Structure 1
Amino acid sequence: MTDRTLNSDQQLALHALRDSLERDSLFLDSDTLARDDPTLLRFLRARSFHVKQARQMIKACLEWRRTTEGEGIDALYRRLDPYDYPEREDVFKCWPMWFHKTDKKGRPLNIQSLGGVNMPKLYKHVSPERHWQTILVNAESLQREVLPAASAQAGRQVEQALVIVDLKGYGLSQFWQMKWLAKQSFEVSQSYFPETMGQLAIINAPSSFTAIWGVIRPWLSPATISKVSILGHDYQKTLLELVDAENLPESLGGSCLCEHAGGCHLSNAGPWMEGRAERRERINGQCTGSGG
């Protein structure tokens, strides 16, 4: 089930959604979107427990998962490992995006550092299409591998991540370079991976962020906006209230260095790495079932 208490109306909505999905056989045997209560509740919460709207959202999500990039998310995830692909080091020089350990609530950290964004430089090493695909498999890894592993470590259901976006050195010119990608990323996250972000902490926000936020804000749902905390340069105390120092990279005010891996941004450190080689073999060998 889920660790968040439901009232009677919400319980009825959950049962009604499940009955509707089963009655109309919306899921195929090959679909890998989980059908458990926590997953269905994510879609219900994203639509304020309106059953018909949540059902339509799931239907659209299933269609996207089956067809995205002309092959579907499962085939893409088999082909492109978000933690180990040839261009990863070059991508991370321009736009590092990684999972790193967990916060005090057991939520995985999803960290992005945007100060080095340089799209023309990036596209000399990886095509725009390939880079977009790395963003998609990174998003898929959260629900497919990261959250289940964080839940196992915590001994309870962990449904969301703490996202930290570091804007040190970031400016308007970089935002305009990546505007389309940012918009598409938010759309994918809100439409196909709803309610997987528990909190978004934006740190080192520059003076130009007021203009940037004015462009971004209309892309976001009210629920997403309510989870955003915009911090300046004095953010360390706030982050350390959320994350133990040994789990927070030193670059963000913690004490973790992950020296064995060449830095926290390259380490993939977290419970999701336990047994991952075997898990990738299973992913590469099959893509059926109802698990996420």
Structure 2
Amino acid sequence: MDSPQQIAGTDTNEQFRPEEPYKVEEGVQNGEQKGEQNGVQQEENGVQEEKVQQEAEVQEDGQQNGHSKPDQQSHTQQSQPQPHHHHHHHHLRLPFHHHQLTPEEQAAKVEELRAAIGPVEGAIALFCTDACLRRYLRARSWHMKKAEKMLQDSIAWRRAFQPERIRWADVAKESETGKVYRAPFTDKFGRPVLVLCPGKQNTEDHEGNIRHMVYCMENAVASLPEGMEQMVWIIDYKAFTLRKSPPMKTSREVLHILQNHYPERLGAAILFDPPYLFQGLWKVIRPFIDPVTFQKIKFVYRKSAPSLKVMEELFDTSQLDASLGGTGDNFVYDHAAYSSRMEAEDARNAKVWALDGLKEALNGASNGAGIAPAV
């Protein structure tokens, strides 16, 4: 059976059809019905030949490398977690892209990248774990110069933006409507789930929106189980209108930050029930989505049973909200209760990022994994 990432959503006549813009670009008439259902997947498969070839190659390697020891923090173990308590879903496998490098070759690349960026200290030293450097290398197909450029840009961004210092009190106003929250459930792999609700957009403060989204990303990363690297996004378009949608400038910057400063962090992005009016926004934002991120985007529609299989593959439907295609209770956002939860997690995460005793702690850990979240 196909992996979750290979299952394309199927639309209904009332919904935005993401394949139509591609057909126009390819010179195919909009009215042509044949092959429409597979339009998105065909675009994904052709958008980056090398990436697809890597995924095909590593399907074999995954069976050989799946026995890695936990303390090795191998990429195979991190990017191919087994579903939690769902052994009958053993066919679900997350793709990984180690580019056919042996663990020794990967380790050598990590050390080369570490030497290239030079000495770092403080929060940046906590950020630059071996696992972090591997993600940047994977994101650039183990091309050293490209990975170094990407990582140096992220280091500069983190020094200026200081995402680890953002606290709930700084962004609570942005979250009063529950426009972004971490779901009370994970996917079948144990990955945290961020639910984004554009229909609940409540401010036009660009900087406030960006800081809020970065806070949510950092919080989700800090919540990752040991050895886990990725999260899942569900973008719920209920009550979405153009008037309520985030400003395009904000959407583009969020996309830029996600792709360039949180590489290999997104496992899947579910666009749930986007209305037809979303088409205009999609055409504008689509060119800014890199091929790797694009492959992780799935359009899912409530009225389409084949489409909903994406949700069944990724989530325990008994935990998933009925409004999102599951059978669980619909999550009701309670700002006071959620604030208490975030404040408690802030206190925990502040200790993780504390700089007291940093030198001693780093000397006692091979890659910082014991004292810092896997960021």
Structure 2 regions of 5+ residues with no counterpart? 1-72, 80-95, 363-367
CA distance, structure 1, for counterparts of residue 163 and residue 346 of structure 2 = 20
Counterpart code for 1:163 = W
CA contact 1:162–1:199 (8 Å) conserved in 2 = yes
Counterpart code for 1:194 = P
Give the aligned partner of residue 154 of structure 1: none
Give the aligned partner of residue 207 of structure 2: 129
CA distance, structure 2, for counterparts of residue 186 and residue 203 of structure 1 = 18
CA distance, structure 2, for counterparts of residue 181 and residue 10 of structure 1 = 40
Q: Equivalent residue of 1:158, what SS?
A: coil
Q: Kindly tell me: are residues 31 and 47 of structure 1, through their superposed partners in 2, closer, same or farther at Cα, counting changes over 3 Å?
A: same
CA distance, structure 2, for counterparts of residue 38 and residue 242 of structure 1 = 24
CA distance, structure 2, for counterparts of residue 133 and residue 277 of structure 1 = 15
Counterpart code for 1:146 = S
Q: Kindly tell me: are residues 242 and 34 of structure 1, through their superposed partners in 2, closer, same or farther at Cα, counting changes over 3 Å?
A: same
Q: Kindly tell me: are residues 49 and 24 of structure 1, through their superposed partners in 2, closer, same or farther at Cα, counting changes over 3 Å?
A: closer
**Match of residue 188, structure 2, among 83, 100, 104:** 104
Counterpart code for 2:163 = I
CA distance, structure 1, for counterparts of residue 348 and residue 109 of structure 2 = 34
Higher mean displacement: 37-46 or 166-175: 166-175
Shift of 1:66: 0.8
Give the aligned partner of residue 135 of structure 2: 42
Q: Kindly tell me: are residues 161 and 30 of structure 1, through their superposed partners in 2, closer, same or farther at Cα, counting changes over 3 Å?
A: closer
TM-score by length of structure 2 reads 0.60
CA distance, structure 2, for counterparts of residue 217 and residue 279 of structure 1 = 37
Shift of 1:63: 1.2
CA contact 2:206–2:250 (8 Å) conserved in 1 = no
CA distance, structure 2, for counterparts of residue 28 and residue 284 of structure 1 = 12
**Match of residue 187, structure 1, among 217, 238, 256:** 256
CA contact 2:317–2:325 (8 Å) conserved in 1 = yes
TM-score by length of structure 1 reads 0.76
Question: What is the percentage of aligned positions where both structures have the same residue?
Answer: 22
1:116 aligns with 2:206: no
CA distance, structure 1, for counterparts of residue 129 and residue 120 of structure 2 = 12
1:171 aligns with 2:171: no
Give the aligned partner of residue 21 of structure 1: 114
Q: Kindly tell me: are residues 23 and 193 of structure 1, through their superposed partners in 2, closer, same or farther at Cα, counting changes over 3 Å?
A: closer
Q: Equivalent residue of 1:206, what SS?
A: coil
CA contact 1:26–1:59 (8 Å) conserved in 2 = no
Q: Kindly tell me: are residues 31 and 216 of structure 1, through their superposed partners in 2, closer, same or farther at Cα, counting changes over 3 Å?
A: same
Shift of 1:98: 1.3
Give the aligned partner of residue 73 of structure 1: 163
Q: Kindly tell me: are residues 225 and 53 of structure 1, through their superposed partners in 2, closer, same or farther at Cα, counting changes over 3 Å?
A: same
Within-5 A mapping of 1:1-292: 1-2=73-74, 3=77, 4=79, 6=98, 8-9=100-101, 11=103, 12-22=105-115, 25-68=118-161, 72-74=162-164, 76-77=165-166, 80-81=167-168, 85=169, 88=172, 91-93=175-177, 96-100=179-183, 101-118=185-202, 122-123=203-204, 127-143=205-221, 145-147=222-224, 150-151=225-226, 157-175=227-245, 177-234=246-303, 236-254=308-326, 255-257=328-330, 262=334, 267=338, 276=345, 279-280=348-349, 282=351, 286=355, 290=368, 291-292=372-373
Counterpart code for 1:134 = H
Counterpart code for 1:97 = V
Deviations 1:227-283 (A, max 9, x none): 110122335553233111343234323314567x748x96489xx98x737514525
Counterpart code for 2:301 = G
Shift of 1:134: 1.7
Higher mean displacement: 42-51 or 4-13: 4-13
Higher mean displacement: 277-286 or 181-190: 277-286
CA distance, structure 2, for counterparts of residue 108 and residue 51 of structure 1 = 30
Counterpart code for 1:196 = R
CA contact 2:209–2:250 (8 Å) conserved in 1 = no
CA RMSD between the two structures = 3.2
CA contact 1:21–1:27 (8 Å) conserved in 2 = no
Q: Kindly tell me: are residues 199 and 38 of structure 1, through their superposed partners in 2, closer, same or farther at Cα, counting changes over 3 Å?
A: same
